Amino acid sequence: MDRNELKKILPHREPMLLVDEAELKEENHAVGRYTVRGDEWFLQGHFPGRMIVPGVVQCEMIAQTCCVLLADQVKGKLPLFAGLDRVRFKNKVLPGDTLVMECSLVKSRPPFYFAKGKGSVNGKLAVTAELSFALIPEDKG
């Protein structure tokens, strides 16, 4: 899926759409990619002269990739974080890097879903996390 196809699933739009492409590898395994250009809003001031992708943004990238696992359930719903657990940052993600996010669904109790994910750059682990989120009906008003 490219960004246009992802927009059919996710409610996010630029500049908050943080996945360039994603695919469902297996029934319960999604992979997404985001290449850090260096001009993103979240790099401004983080840190001047030594830009690093903030950890919370990396977690958001994983979460958006998780939505690919639930493409049919996400449509017409608003995916909201319910929790982040066991988050670990192993290496920096810098401008020019492509963060490859992998995630899988651990369990579900609709409207709540529980997943685990990781992100790596050039095969080197950058972030791991356990995520929970809720899919709530989208309020158009």
Give yes or no: 29 in active site. no
Binned at pLDDT 50, 70 and 90, residue 140 comes out as low
Q: Average pLDDT for residues 75-92, to the nearest whole number?
A: 94
Q: In this predicted structure, what is the pLDDT of residue 76?
A: 80
Provide the β-strand partners of residue 133: 81, 113
Q: Is the pTM of this model over 0.85?
A: yes
Binned at pLDDT 50, 70 and 90, residue 132 comes out as very high
Count how many domains the chain has: 1
Catalytic choice (3, 7, 46, 77) = 46
- Within 10 A of 129 (CB to CB), how many other CB atoms are there? 22
Q: Which domain holds residue 121?
A: 3-137
Half-sphere CA count of 125, side-chain side, radius 13 A? 9
pLDDT tens digits for range 42-63: 999 999 899 999 999 999 999 9
For residues 4-38, one letter each, b for 16 or more C-beta atoms within 10 angstroms of the residue's C-beta and e for the rest, the string is: eebeebbebeeeeebbbebeeeeeeebbbbbebee
Q: What is the CATH number of the domain that holds 102?
A: 3.10.129.10
